[in-house]
Amino acid sequence: MPVRIGFYICHCGINIAHKVRVQEVADFVRGLKNVVVSRDYKFMCSDPGQEMIETDIRTHDLNRVVVASCSPRLHEKTFQDACRRAGLNPYLFQMASVREQVSWVTADEDEATAKAKTLAAGAINRVNFHQMLETRTVDVHPDVMVVGGGIAGMQAALDIGNAGLTVYLVERQTTVGGHMLQFDKTFPTLDCAACIGTPKMVEVAQNPNIRLLTYSEVSEVSGYVGNYNVTVTRHPRYIKEGVCTGCGECAKVCPVALPSEWDEGLSRRKAIFRAFPQAVPITYTIDKKDRAPCTTTCPAGINVQATSNSSARVNTVKRLP
Ligand SMILES: Cc1cc2nc3c(=O)[nH]c(=O)nc-3n(C[C@H](O)[C@H](O)[C@H](O)COP(=O)(O)OP(=O)(O)OC[C@H]3O[C@@H](n4cnc5c(N)ncnc54)[C@H](O)[C@@H]3O)c2cc1C
Ligand code: SF4
Ligand code: SF4
């Protein structure tokens, strides 16, 4: 069946028409291959604008439609629905953005008109190749993964969790909080960062819909939108979450002191540590760089410390559904 295209350029009141000579664009498009109808109209998204498309589809046997107006994000569905109502498959529609991408961002009228013609011609060329598509419904896995437990990730996890979905919140540090928890006061209101951040940290840990995976990183993602398989590598803390009370007695006797990452090296922490007092989870972590010095230097290679067995360094991998 020969391609028969209907083209419509919108004035958007004066939003487009004050910079783009819309009638000139419509005249230009009328001369392009397979274009049967080419019009300009004040408000294409209005009822009369949509009815114009529907009437043209029926009376001119149009099998493709192009609208040059705002952005597809705003009105693509509006015009696809108009096509559908007139019996045309909605995927035989194409939109060109001559407002956001042209009239709002181009100072010169000649330049804006030329740009609108180019975008319109591109859309006309493209729509020639469109094929009818059918939408279908597929099952999606409703769980959500949020990567990064800073203030943004925590709030996202809380919003989604409170909406009733299961959220996996993956944070590579030993605690959630992110940069904000490193500050004392925040510009411009001089709010106390910890006063805003710590209640969210606690809420995240206590929300029954949030599975908090700290000291963890995404190591593999496969699948597709709605059905991802994600592998998360959980770095070993060597201390059990839920068992450690966070009393800190261990850190008092630990002889190894290292620069504190959380304090940007301005203070020191022990090899068994918690990033900062309000860290969530409260669980301490042993920062094992390698085996204990006594074991690495032993000429007989004897593992004098049971806890420093290097096999314990093997990461545990949690496969998420
Ligand atoms: C020095 C400084 C001063 C600032 N002062 C102010 C201020 O006064 N007022 C203000 O409003 N804003 C300020 N900001 C900005 C503010 O801190 C940030 O906009 C805000 O903290 C960003 O939050 P976020 O959650 O997006 O990111 P972040 O706080 O950076 O959190 C990201 C989290 O994701 C984790 N992460 C990163 N990659 C991975 C990964 N691959 N896997 C798992 N986890 C990962 C990180 O460990 C971190 O916990 C300042 C920023 C800085 C650096
Ligand atoms: S279709 Fe878009 S550009 Fe045209 S009047 Fe409506 S909002 Fe404005
Ligand atoms: S690991 Fe340290 S902080 Fe945790 S319970 Fe034992 S002594 Fe207390």
**Cα 177 to averaged position of ligand 1 atoms, centre (Å):** 8
Answer yes or no: is 282 within a domain: no
151 with 92, same domain: the answer is: no
Lining ligand 3 with CB less than 6 A are 239, 244-250, 284
**What is d(CA 174, CA 177) in angstroms, rounded to the nearest whole number?**
10
17 with 116, same domain: the answer is: yes
108 with 13, same domain: the answer is: yes
Of all ligands present, the nearest one to the C-alpha of 245 is 3
Answer yes or no: is 195 within a domain: yes
pLDDT given for residue 309 in this prediction:
38
172 with 115, same domain: the answer is: no
pLDDT given for residue 4 in this prediction:
98
Answer yes or no: is 269 within a domain: no
Residue nearest to atom 6 of ligand 3 (CA): 244
**Cα 273 to averaged position of ligand 2 atoms, centre (Å):** 59
Q: How many helices (H) and strands (E) does the chain have?
A: 8, 16
108 with 149, same domain: the answer is: no
15 with 79, same domain: the answer is: yes
- pTM, full prediction: 0.70
**CB-ligand 2 contact for 69 (6 Å cutoff):** yes
Answer yes or no: is 165 within a domain: yes
53 with 152, same domain: the answer is: no
In sequence order, the 6+-apart residues with CB closer than 8 A to the CB of 166 are: 142, 143, 144, 209, 210, 211
CA angle 191/195/197 to nearest 5° reads 100
**Cα 158 to averaged position of ligand 3 atoms, centre (Å):** 29
Number of domains in the chain: 2
In sequence order, the 6+-apart residues with CB closer than 8 A to the CB of 215 are: 171, 172, 173, 174, 234, 235, 237, 285
Listed as ranges, residues in the chain with pLDDT below 70 are 292-296, 303-321
110 with 12, same domain: the answer is: yes
CATH number at residue 111: 3.40.50
Of 24, 129, 125, 9, nearest to 67 by C-alpha is 9
Answer yes or no: is 294 within a domain: no
Of all ligands present, the nearest one to the C-alpha of 100 is 2
112 with 192, same domain: the answer is: no
Answer yes or no: is 191 within a domain: yes
Answer yes or no: is 183 within a domain: yes
Which residue range is the domain that position 177 belongs to?
144-237+312-319
123 with 149, same domain: the answer is: no
CATH number at residue 162: 3.50.50.60
123 with 84, same domain: the answer is: yes
Answer yes or no: is 117 within a domain: yes
The residues that bridge with 147 in the sheet, in sequence order, are 170
Strands (DSSP E) along the chain, which ranges?
A: 5-10, 35-41, 64-69, 93-97, 144-147, 167-170, 185-186, 191-192, 210-213, 216-224, 227-234, 257-259, 268-270, 272-273, 285-286, 316-319
pLDDT given for residue 288 in this prediction:
87
Domain boundary among 80, 100, 127: 127
pLDDT given for residue 304 in this prediction:
57
Q: What is the pLDDT of residues 253-283, one digit of tens each?
A: 999 999 999 999 999 999 999 999 999 999 9
N- to C-terminal Cα separation, the chain: 47
Cα pseudo-dihedral 292, 293, 299, 302, rounded to 10: -20
Q: What is the pLDDT of residues 10-52, one digit of tens each?
A: 999 999 999 999 999 999 999 999 999 999 999 999 999 999 9
Domain boundary among 60, 93, 127: 127
9 with 119, same domain: the answer is: yes
**What is d(CA 84, CA 65) in angstroms, rounded to the nearest whole number?**
11
Residue nearest to atom 2 of ligand 3 (CA): 250
Three-state SS for 144-192 is EEEECCCHHHHHHHHHHHHCCCCEEEECCCCCCCCHHHHCCEECCCCEE
Q: Which two tokens stand for residue 45?
A: 């998204």
Three-state SS for 223-239 is EECCEEEEEEEECCCCC
**What is d(CA 86, CA 83) in angstroms, rounded to the nearest whole number?**
5
**Cα 141 to averaged position of ligand 3 atoms, centre (Å):** 38
Q: At what angle do helices 72-85 and 47-59 cross, to 10 degrees?
A: 50
